[in-house]
A and B are shown apart, each in its own frame.
Chain A
């Protein structure tokens, strides 16, 4: 037996993760840049495009790109809705009935928007076909949609003087799935299976335990779904306990693999960005801000969980309620911070039972807009929108027209960015405010006092930011929450995407201006510091009142 202190082991565990991410950063970043920029197609891809009858080489204006994206997402919602409703008639249904209309709506929107909010319990509601051919397909394509939008925005910066052409949605979508997400998922699924994650098509069978009780052995194609759940920062687990479930996440080794997978693409995309705009240092600056915010959040959350303040952790001797023995405090905090700082929302421990400052930090990660490092694609475009705010603020201070990457940030650009920054906070605050004054909203609250408000705030923050994790004591399997959460997820996904693509179009139409001695360098620590400050201040000011009534009050009591 080793005699490592828990703190030393916690730090070493983080270093293992960081080293693994650093090792793949440059090669994967370059591979993704090549994937999205190379003009040629594989032969099998040509057949694919011919079969689905799209022209992969047509450069789309941002409006057309958005239409393709919305059309694809619309049929995705309808297709998944139909599959969920009709589950009882489909093969591999395990005898489960179809979802009710409100529940099917919520789940169809949830998976299409990369949120993966789950009001239902997978092992008691969803059969194998729905999991594989319904939910997991959206895990792939919704992730690829996010990456496509990010790449379109980067093209807006990189291109000069086009008539708002930002790429081809169908090509970006196809390549994102087949050249990036699918190969990574295959490798990940095999590693997870070797580590003990199940992968079969068996039903749930009752067996007799050692003491003669009855227990069901679960079946399902779990490793394949687990892989894309993490790689695509989706987060919707096949089982209710998600990555706390031993069949999804059996060991501390599979745990670090899953954390690695969910951080992999978000932390690597800044490299892709740097390559595509022809200046890798720009990518380093973005990466630095993401990593700095992630590390600060991780330090605070890990400290809170290991210190264990609050009545229940103090009574028990440690904050182990809702945590698994094999992970303990440190590996649970590491997973929790990584899943809320990306848009993943899978959990290896129950966030609602975290200490008040720890749980509050997780909520803050989501409220930041999930930009440190954020969801696949969504994190990068979110951080680039904030970078535009940062250069605008800097421009105001020195009285020059702000520029970012050779593009002028004028009134049209800033209008789009301002709308982007306001959209999600408005959804979160209005949604929370409505839920705490109407009877069906109040009915779902579990915990008394300030924590009850935190439950509702977390739910709407999670939905509108497309995270999907929860303070799961809140009973959301009701029509009120299913419908309102569905609306929050939908608006929180597609309004920001439309604004990002609009900005991409505006930028792609501009001619790049050369940098002068008066241009603010955006690759230096000074700018990175400004960007981090803008990220925290903009969000902090928006949410300080409601955070004060929720997690802050809890932490002080």
Chain B
């Protein structure tokens, strides 16, 4: 008696599964192919620059060609030179690796994290000739994506003198450029004020 029930349940499940398979294939065509391909077409026509990855050329101009691009305005690059503003620390691969995005995922009490924060703080303070207490939090913490394109206006401010000296520019000129590349909160209240590092550095290159 029990075995016939199980057998008939299995037969029922099989029948429903076949209907399910037909429906899944239909959904795959509609939501898995037609929808994303239609959205791709809309993107190429209406927002080609954004849909392509917000690429920029070495003179700071927008481009949709990967051959002409030196980077994406949305993705951090690991600037090291004294003449460039530096991004936040990155835990993406060996740093700023777009094929390995992500954060450190170290916990708030992790002693290794505390140690690396102290190390970074000392290094940033020395590099920019400021007191460790003046180093802002974003300068010593790895971002969530490891590709954070922005730094806080405070972190930009402590780098101005170093960059100006390396380029033979006045502090005021560099600070002025930083101010022009500082963006406030979206709609006045969303998110935080920030400075896009790649755009700022390309503007610096264009300026001298």
Residues of A within 8 A of B (CB): 1-2, 4, 9, 12-13, 16, 48, 51-54, 67-68, 70-76, 79, 121, 123-124, 132-134, 136-137, 140-141, 170, 173-174, 177-178, 182, 185-186, 189-190, 193-202, 204-205, 207-211, 213, 215-219, 221, 223-225, 228, 239-241, 244-247, 250-253, 255-256, 309-313, 315-328, 330-332, 347-350, 352-356, 359, 446-449, 451, 454, 471-473, 554, 557
Residue in chain B with minimal CB distance to A76:
B24
Inter-chain contact B191/A321, CB cutoff 8 Å: no
- B141 contacts A320, C-beta separation under 8 Å: yes
Partner of B141, one of A16, A216, A245, A321: A321
User: Which chain A residues border B143 with CB–CB below 8 Å?
Assistant: 244, 322-325
- Smallest CB separation, A224 vs chain B (Å): 4
B52 within 8 A of partner (CB): yes
Q: How far is the CB of A251 from chain B (nearest CB, A)?
A: 6
CA distance A301 to B33 in the complex (A): 39
B103 and A133 within 8 A (CB): no
> Are A190 and B39 closer than 8 Å at their CB atoms?
yes
A201 x B20 contact (CB < 8 A): no
Enumerate chain B residues within 8 angstroms of A205, measured Cβ to Cβ: 66
Question: Are the C-beta atoms of B190 and A322 separated by less than 8 Å?
Answer: no
- Apart from A51-B22, A134-B32, A554-B107, list 5 A-B contacts with CB within 8 A: A12-B189, A52-B22, A186-B35, A210-B58, A241-B145
Scoring B66, B100, B190 by chain A CB atoms within 10 A of each residue's CB, the highest score goes to B190
Instruction: Tell me whether B169 is interfacial, beta carbon within 8 Å.
Output: no
- Give the top 7 A-B pairs by smallest Cβ distance, nearest first: A252-B191, A71-B16, A244-B144, A328-B192, A72-B20, A133-B32, A310-B108
Known: A199-B43, A313-B108. A255 touches B191 (CB 8 A): yes
Interface of B with A (CB < 8 Å)?
12-24, 26-28, 30-33, 35-40, 42-44, 46-47, 50-55, 58, 66, 69-72, 74-75, 77-81, 84, 88, 92, 96-111, 113-114, 117-118, 121, 135-138, 140-152, 182, 184-194, 198, 201-202, 205
The closest CB in chain A to the CB of B41 belongs to A199
Asked whether, in the complex, the Cβ of B190 is within 8 Å of the Cβ of A208, the reply is no
For the complex, give the distance between the alpha carbons of A201 and B105 in Å. 30
Please indicate the chain B residues that have their CB under 8 angstroms from the CB of A327 in the complex: 191-192
Q: Shortest CB–CB separation between residue A86 and chain B, in angstroms?
A: 15
Q: Does A246 contact B149, Cβ atoms closer than 8 Å?
A: yes
Knowing A316-B140, A321-B106, A324-B148, the reply to whether A137 touches B98 (Cβ < 8 A) is no
Q: Are B142 and A221 in contact (CB under 8 A)?
A: no
- In whole angstroms, what is the CA distance A423 to B177 when docked? 59
For A323, what are the chain B residues with a Cβ–Cβ distance below 8 Å? 141, 143-144
The answer to whether A182 and B35 have CB atoms under 8 Å apart is yes
Across the interface, B193 reaches (CB within 8 A) one of A1, A72, A74, A225, namely A1
Contact partners of A471 in chain B: CB under 8 A: 105, 107
Contact B117 A312 (CB under 8 A): yes
Which single residue of chain B is at the shortest CB-CB distance from A144?
B27
Q: In the assembly, what is the distance between CA of A352 and CA of B108, in Å?
A: 8
Q: Are B98 and A215 neighbours in the complex by a CB distance under 8 Å?
A: yes
Counting chain A CB atoms within 10 Å of each CB, the highest count among B22, B31, B100, B114 belongs to: B31
B35, B36, B111, B186 — which one has the most chain A CB atoms within 10 A of its CB?
B36
CB distance from A192 to the nearest CB of B (A): 9
Q: A181 — nearest CB in chain B belongs to which residue?
A: B31
Residues of A with C-beta under 8 A to B142: 321-322
Docked-complex contact A193 and B69, CB < 8 angstroms: no
A200 touches B144 (CB 8 A): no
Bound together, the chains give a CA A136 to CA B27 distance in angstroms of: 10
CB distance from B27 to the nearest CB of A (A): 6
Listed by A's residue number, 6 A-B pairs whose Cβ atoms lie within 8 Å are A70-B16, A182-B30, A182-B35, A247-B74, A318-B141, A327-B192
A194:B47 contact, CB within 8 angstroms: yes
Within 8 Å by CB of B51, from A76, A185, A200, A240, lies: A200
Tell me, in angstroms, the Cα distance from A76 to B27 when the chains sit together. Answer: 11
For B40, the chain A residues whose CB sits under 8 A away are 199-201, 221, 224
B1 CB to closest chain A CB (Å) equals 18
Whether A189 and B189, one on each chain, are in contact in the complex, defined by CB atoms closer than 8 angstroms, is no
Cα-based distance from A318 to B143 in the complex (angstroms): 13
Report the separation of the CA atoms of residues A312 and B99 in the bound assembly, to the nearest whole angstrom: 27
The minimal Cβ–Cβ distance linking A321 to chain B, given in whole angstroms, is 4
Residues in B neighbouring A241, C-beta threshold 8 A: 92, 101-103, 144-147
A200 and B71 form a contact (CB under 8 A): no
Residue numbers in A under 8 Å from B88 (CB-CB): 325
Contact between A312 and B114, CB atoms less than 8 A apart: yes
